[in-house]
């Protein structure tokens, strides 16, 4: 049976005792209420209301049916009220997928998010694997690159910078490179993208007449924090995002290199399934992350 208007007309009529009284509640005419109830009776094959010129009363079958329908409509009203409350106070679990290094960005701001929305439950998945949001039931992901699926929506976060860094101990042994060509005499720490296996290219601006730079890599890994650890231990020069290197740069445990020769903007995006109605809990998390991620980036001129 698929006759919700008929059910509503029947229940309101039984509640109020007449088609005339039910009509204003339903926003239709009394005759339309009567026709809706009649169609419902025809569909069910049973008389629900005993009609007379002076009154309406429930038949025995109508009384049993009314009690069940009344309970169902009360449940629908409760569900509607609960949904409206979530619009006022977002609540429930939000699954967020992010690259492993993103915890450096997220953890400092999460206390403020949870203090503002104490009924949220964040389920964080830090992985460098490309997650299928729709198939895996993920609400939001932080990812770089272009939008991978037309079923997704995206909001850009503030850009970050990629830096070439080395430890003071390494530079004391090998010297400080003054131009990209000098890197030929140095040792690199390489980063291999976990999904593609491709080696990260260093974002250097090299004059057209310069030969291709081939920096020998003493170590290659697919984890950015492991790369930073190797650079800190003096194993070579590495390319790191500024937000990951910020603390070590501030403590002078890392030194930025060739700043005038870098063209290295980076970009993370927030992506989520493009449902027509974005749930309130997901909306507030998206808005909060867009407003607060990358607001305290390390600045080399500080």
* Domain shared by 207 and 253, yes or no: yes
* Domain shared by 202 and 286, yes or no: no
**Cα–Cα dist 260/37, whole Å:** 79
Of 2-6, 60-64, 233-237, 292-296, the poorest mean pLDDT is in 292-296
**Is residue 42 assigned to a domain?**
yes
**Cα–Cα dist 96/270, whole Å:** 10
Mean pLDDT of 38-62: 88
**Is residue 76 assigned to a domain?**
yes
**Is residue 302 assigned to a domain?**
no
**Is residue 116 assigned to a domain?**
yes
55 SS3 class: coil
**Is residue 44 assigned to a domain?**
yes
pLDDT band, residue 84 (cuts 50/70/90): low
* Domain shared by 274 and 135, yes or no: yes
Indicate whether this model's pTM tops 0.85. Answer: no
What's the pLDDT at 77? 78
Please give the residue range of the domain that contains residue 274.
92-159+267-292
* Domain shared by 243 and 171, yes or no: yes
* Domain shared by 10 and 70, yes or no: yes
Share the mean pLDDT of the chain: 86
**Cα–Cα dist 11/241, whole Å:** 63
Mean pLDDT of 268-282: 81
Query: With b meaning 16 or more CB within 10 Å and e meaning fewer, what string describes 229-247?
Result: ebbbebbbbbbbbbbbbbe
What's the pLDDT at 237? 97
* Residue pLDDT, tens place only, 174-213: 999 999 999 999 999 999 988 788 899 899 987 776 666 7
* Domain shared by 128 and 271, yes or no: yes
* Residue pLDDT, tens place only, 112-165: 999 999 999 999 999 888 888 888 889 999 987 666 566 788 888 888 899 999
What's the pLDDT at 298? 45
Q: What are phi and psi of 207, to 5 degrees?
A: -55, 145
What's the pLDDT at 211? 61
**Is residue 29 assigned to a domain?**
yes
Mean pLDDT of 87-95: 83
* CA-based radius of gyration for the chain: 32
* Domain shared by 175 and 49, yes or no: no
**Cα–Cα dist 15/17, whole Å:** 6
CATH number at residue 27: 1.10.10.10
CATH number at residue 285: 3.40.190.10
* Domain shared by 206 and 238, yes or no: yes
* Domain shared by 164 and 257, yes or no: yes
What's the pLDDT at 251? 96
Among left, alpha and beta (phi > 0; psi -120 to 50; other), residue 233 is: alpha
Query: With b meaning 16 or more CB within 10 Å and e meaning fewer, what string describes 60-94?
Result: eebeebbeebeeebeeeeeeeeeeeeeeeebbeeb
Number of domains composing the chain:
3
Tell me the angle at which helices 19-26 and 4-16 cross, rounded to the nearest 10 degrees.
Answer: 130
* Domain shared by 136 and 65, yes or no: no
């Amino acid at each position: 049976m698929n006759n919700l208007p008929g059910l509503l007309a029947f229940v309101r009529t039984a509640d109020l005792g007449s088609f005339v009284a039910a009509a204003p509640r339903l926003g239709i005419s009394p005759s339309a209420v009567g026709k809706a109830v009649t169609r419902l009776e025809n569909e069910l094959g049973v008389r629900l209301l005993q009609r007379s010129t002076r009154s309406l009363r429930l038949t025995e079958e109508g009384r049993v049916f009314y009690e069940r329908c009344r309970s169902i409509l009360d449940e629908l009203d409760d569900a509607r009220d609960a949904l409206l409350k979530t619009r006022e106070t977002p609540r429930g679990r939000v699954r967020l997928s992010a690259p492993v290094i993103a915890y450096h960005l997220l953890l400092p701001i999460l206390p403020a998010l949870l203090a503002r929305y104490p009924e949220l439950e964040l389920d964080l998945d830090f992985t460098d694997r490309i997650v299928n949001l729709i198939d895996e039931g993920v609400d939001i992901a932080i990812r770089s690159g272009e939008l991978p699926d037309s079923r997704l929506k995206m909001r850009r976060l503030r850009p970050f910078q990629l830096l070439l860094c080395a430890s003071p101990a390494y530079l004391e042994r090998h010297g400080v490179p003054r131009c990209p060509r000098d890197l030929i005499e140095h040792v690199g720490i390489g980063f291999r993208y976990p999904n593609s296996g491709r080696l990260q290219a260093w974002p250097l601006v090299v004059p057209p007449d310069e030969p291709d730079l081939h920096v020998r890599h003493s170590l290659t890994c697919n984890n950015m924090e492991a790369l930073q650890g190797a650079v800190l231990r003096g194993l070579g020069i590495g390319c790191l995002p500024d937000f990951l290197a910020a603390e070590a740069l501030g403590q002078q445990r890392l030194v930025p290199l060739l700043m005038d020769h870098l063209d290295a903007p980076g970009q993370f995006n927030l992506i989520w399934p493009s449902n027509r109605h974005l749930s309130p809990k997901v909306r507030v998390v998206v808005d909060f992350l867009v407003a607060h991620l990358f607001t305290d980036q390390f600045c080399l001129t500080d």
